[in-house]
Structure 1
Amino acid sequence: MDATTLTTLGTFLVGAGAVVGVWVQYVGKRGENALTGYSSLTNDLQEERDALRTERDQLKGERDQLNSRLAEMASLRAADQAEIARLRADNIRLGGQP
Structure 2
Amino acid sequence: MATTRSSIDSPLAIEIALRQEKVGALRRVGDTLEKMLGELKELERQLRTLTGPARAKPLAAYHQLRADAEYQRWCLVVQREAMGLFNHSEVDLMYPVPPQLK
Given the two structures, how large is their TM-score scaled by the length of structure 1? Answer: 0.43
Higher RCO, Cα 8 Å, sep 6+? 2
Structure with greater proportional helix content: 1
